[in-house]
Amino acid sequence: MKPLSRKVAAVEESQTIFLASLAKKMKSEGIDVSSLTAGEPDFGTPQAIKDAAMKAIQSEFTKYTPTRGIPDLLKAVAEKFRKDNDLHFETSQVMVSNGAKHSIYNALEAICNKGDEVIIPAPYWVSYPEMAKLVNATPVIVKTSASNQFKMTPSQLRKALTKKSKVLIFCSPSNPTGAVYTQEEIEAIADVVHRSGIYVISDEIYEKIIYDGLKHFSMGAVDPIRNQVVTTNGVSKAYSMTGWRIGFMGGPKEIISAAEKVQSQVTSNACSISQKAALAALTADLDAEVAGMVREFDRRRQYLVGEFKTIKGIDFIYPRGSFTFFINVKPFLNKKTPKTLIKTTDDLSEYFLYEHRVATVPGPSFGAPHWIRLSYACSMEELSKGVNRLREGFAYLSTL
């Protein structure tokens, strides 16, 4: 048989999805695993959204829709961008896709040529470099510093720029670190973007999950670069709709038109029923329900901060947004247990999974080899159980 695609062979499997699936498989086999891997809220989808979906099914709203999305949803997305983000788009400048991940990929396909460089600050969400590879672009990783909460500085961006630089993928609030850029920090980065002429894909999927009175600010709202920024978002995180698969993007009309061509040939429209559900999410009065979810996430966040302050040898990034918690585990590497030689954080995650029955995501997947990501998108009971198991595992390693 002839060989398969070399391009796809070079792409890594998503470790977050793999490890979450592995934890679920172990649970289905009767193994008591505490999973701190999930990138999805554990709350139910609000009833108003489910009602809209059921109404769509009952009214036979089950056919193809326009590729970019149904008109009412496009209007709602444009209004959401205006109201929440100071982004002013015509409906021709927005598109609905099969999740925010799909929106990012569509934007990369629309922007990149073979050999173009995609600038990605590390730590990064696991899929960014792999999506760059899939569009035949070259991921350029910008190392950032834990002393600055892993937030990229203008100087670091300038040093990464070359003649081949095409687009920066920017994420605030950040997955995996939980860092939130201030308006001033974003404006400083935007100045470098403006001078360089590169594009920005601004991933803002966690914008509503933010703490400590901080305010989300959109890169695309900086006047000099409004026509250089594609903003991606969706309903998955804020409205607990991960499985509904609705994301959206807004940006320069020529980029959206190009992305529409890509989507029309690959998936066509997003699910018609999910589009009606997303319309309800964006137009119904759900602020109180979203705020309730965020309060519960905050309670879990504060619990983790308190617990990990008491574990000797652990350092962490104090999260200001999202529902991820990033811990530095370097002191626990190069240890040997009776069953495991722990050289890397991949080894450490395996140690925790198989010897202490708690699932985590190792840092190399995020471009941070000495770190591990935890998710607190789980019940407090599950979180407490997982933390206690981590504490036991770290305590044992401290004796070696």
Instruction: Give pLDDT tens digits for 135-179.
Output: 999 999 999 999 999 999 999 999 999 999 999 999 999 999 999
pLDDT score of 360 more than 90: yes
Q: Is the pLDDT of residue 72 over 80?
A: yes
Which range is least confidently modeled, 26-30, 221-225, 330-334?
26-30
SS (H, E, C) 315-346: EECCCCECCEEEEECHHHCCEECCCCEECCHH
**Taking the model in full, what pTM does it have?**
0.96
The whole-chain average pLDDT of the chain stands at: 97
- pLDDT at res. 22: 82
Per-residue pLDDT averaged across 208-235, rounded? Answer: 98
pLDDT of residue 21: 83
**Residue 340 has what pLDDT?**
85
Mean pLDDT of 283-300: 98
What percent of the chain has pLDDT above 90?
A: 92
Q: In the prediction, which pLDDT does 38 show?
A: 84
Report the side by side order of strands in the sheet with 138-143.
94-97, 247-250, 229-234, 199-203, 165-171, 117-122, 138-143
pLDDT at 126 over 90: yes
Checking if the pLDDT of 400 tops 90, the result is no
Q: Tokens standing for 335?
A: 């240890």
Instruction: Look up tokens 């999974």; give the residue.
Output: 353
